[in-house]
């Protein structure tokens, strides 16, 4: 089971929106050095919605090659078209990804049965470990614990990223899916409590900026060390909040650029962080001791 601090990696770009592979390599080395447990390549924080299929798959392959087996790589392969999600998942497997993360179909609002059939079709089509991803605040689609329970019976559906921030879902999903099913949070603000309640890790935005602290906090929480986990999380609290002061990944890309790890580049329709937000994000970074 992949567990711990799993960074939802930003995709570095130049100021024309072209993927910057040299900075991508720098980010991979930074995360391995800082103790990040796994990387999500081309998740939603990686701007998967604005890269075309070939760019998307090239970034996944590039990250897999740079990591070179040192930590697991999870490829974001979700789509609101089942056939597109199957193709992305197949290409991620061919690129050497260790697992895939599949966001619920966005905009088209499938029923719970539609969600079950969507994920069942992908799992049956591509033999690679697959992680469900529920983030209704971005997709307008909430995959209920009962549906996750049904899907957990499929052999290569191995976990879920549950990003509602509803902590009672940890126990609900665990009771329905069993101890061998991985339950990750996608909500940084509640990640400490989530893992203290039995979650297996976080797929984190904050980890782009403070990977060592997030790794230490999540490790402590998984091990049941509440005092240590909460003391570290106190340093991260402002970061968890202010990295969402504008739409993700706008603030986190600004913060990573501020750290000198990449240039100022983002894809339309997203725009660069506005200057009225600089002080809040900088202050959060100071509290997390990264600047």
Cα 79 versus chain centre, distance: 15
Residue 164: closest CA among 194, 204, 133, 136? 136
Catalytic residue among 61, 93, 161, 212: 161
119 labelled catalytic = no
- Cα–Cα distances (Å) from 129 to 47, 75, 109, 135, 146, in that order, read 22, 11, 25, 20, 20
Q: Tokens for 37?
A: 């447990």
**Could you say which of 66, 119, 133, 184 is catalytic?**
133
Integer angstrom CA distances of residue 158 from 71, 77, 139, 148: 18, 15, 22, 10
Phi first, then psi: give them for residue 254, nearest 5 degrees.
-60, -45
Question: Rounded distance, CA 148 to CA 157, Å?
Answer: 10
161 catalytic per annotation: yes
Which of the residues are catalytic?
133, 161
């Amino acid at each position: 089971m992949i567990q711990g601090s799993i960074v939802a990696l930003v995709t570095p770009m130049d100021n024309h929106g072209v993927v910057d592979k040299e900075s991508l390599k720098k980010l991979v080395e930074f995360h391995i050095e800082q103790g990040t447990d796994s990387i999500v390549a081309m998740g939603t924080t990686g701007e998967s919605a604005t890269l075309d299929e070939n760019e998307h798959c090239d970034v996944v392959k590039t990250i897999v090659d740079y990591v070179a087996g040192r930590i697991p790589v999870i490829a974001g392969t979700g789509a609101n078209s089942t056939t597109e999600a199957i193709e992305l998942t197949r290409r991620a497997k061919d690129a050497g990804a260790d697992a895939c993360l599949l966001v619920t179909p966005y905009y088209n609002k499938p029923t719970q049965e539609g969600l079950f059939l969507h994920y069942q079709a992908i799992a049956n089509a591509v033999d690679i470990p697959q992680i469900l991803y529920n983030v209704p605040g971005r997709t307008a689609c909430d995959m209920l614990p009962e549906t996750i329970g049904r899907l957990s019976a499929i052999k290569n559906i191995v976990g879920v990223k549950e990003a509602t921030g509803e902590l009672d879902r940890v126990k609900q999903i665990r009771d329905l899916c069993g101890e061998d099913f991985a339950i990750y949070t996608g909500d940084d603000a509640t990640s400490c409590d989530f893992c203290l309640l039995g979650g297996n890790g976080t797929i984190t935005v904050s980890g782009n900026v403070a990977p060592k602290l997030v790794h230490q906090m999540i490790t402590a929480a998984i091990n049941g060390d509440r005092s240590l986990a909460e003391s570290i999380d106190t340093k991260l609290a402002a970061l968890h909040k202010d990295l969402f002061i504008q739409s993700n990944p706008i603030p986190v890309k600004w913060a990573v650029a501020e750290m000198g790890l990449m240039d100022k580049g983002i894809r339309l329709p997203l725009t660069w962080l506005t200057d009225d937000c600089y002080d809040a994000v900088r202050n959060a970074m100071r509290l997390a001791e990264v600047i």
